[in-house]
Amino acid sequence: MHALAEKIASALTPAHTFSVEVKDVTQSAPVDPPALRRALADQLSIFGSRQVESDSAESHLQVSISHGVDGYLLVAEVSSAGGSQTVMAAVANPEPVATQPGPAPSLDRKIVWQQPRPILDFAQADIDASHTVWYILEPERIELYEFSGGAEILHDAKTLGRSFASRDPRGRIVLTDATHITAFHAGMQCDSSWSPTFSIQCKGIPGQQWPMGAVSWRFESPRNYFSGNMVFSNSVETKFPAFYSAASPSPETSGQSGSKWIIAGIDGQTQVAGGTADASSSFEGWGSDIATLAPGCGPQWLVLATGAGDWTQPDRLQLYEITDQRAAAVGQPLDVPGPVLALWATADGKSARVVVKNLETGLYEASIVTPSCSK
Show the domains of the chain with their CATH numbers: 2-98 (3.40.50.10610), 104-374 (2.120.10)
The mean pLDDT value for 169-190 works out to 91
At 54, is the secondary structure helix, strand, or coil? helix
Question: Residue 319: in which H helix or E strand, if any?
Answer: strand 315-323
CA distance 363 to 375: 35
CA distance 220 to 217: 10
In the predicted model, is pLDDT for residue 217 greater than 50?
yes
CA distance 239 to 231: 9
375 or 26: which leads in pLDDT: 26
Phi-psi region of 120 (alpha: psi -120 to 50; beta: other; left: phi over 0): alpha
Instruction: Transcribe 219-251 into DSSP letters.
Output: EETTTTEEEEEEEETTS-EEE---EEEEE---H
Read off the pLDDT of residues 308-330 as tens digits, 9 standing for 90 and up. Answer: 888 889 999 999 998 877 888 99
CA distance 224 to 210: 13
Read off the pLDDT of residues 269-289 as tens digits, 9 standing for 90 and up. Answer: 999 886 555 556 788 889 999
Q: Which long-range contacts (CB under 8 A, 24 or more apart) does 66-72 make?
A: 66/25, 66/26, 67/26, 72/26, 72/29, 72/31
CA distance 256 to 375: 25
CA distance 375 to 110: 21
| Rg of the Cα atoms in the chain | 23
**Picking from 2-11, 95-104, 242-251, 359-368, which range would have the lowest pLDDT averaged per residue?**
95-104
Closest CA to 300 of 263, 341, 251: 251
Predicted model pTM:
0.74
CA distance 281 to 291: 18
Read off the pLDDT of residues 21-38 as tens digits, 9 standing for 90 and up. Answer: 888 877 777 777 887 788
Q: What residue type is 212 in one-letter code?
A: M
Read off the pLDDT of residues 80-94 as tens digits, 9 standing for 90 and up. Answer: 887 888 888 777 655
CA distance 67 to 62: 16
% helix / strand / coil in the chain, to the nearest 5? 10, 55, 35
* Confidence at residue 298, expressed as pLDDT on a 0 to 100 scale: 67
Q: Does a cis peptide bond (omega within 30 degrees of 0) precede residue 33? A: no
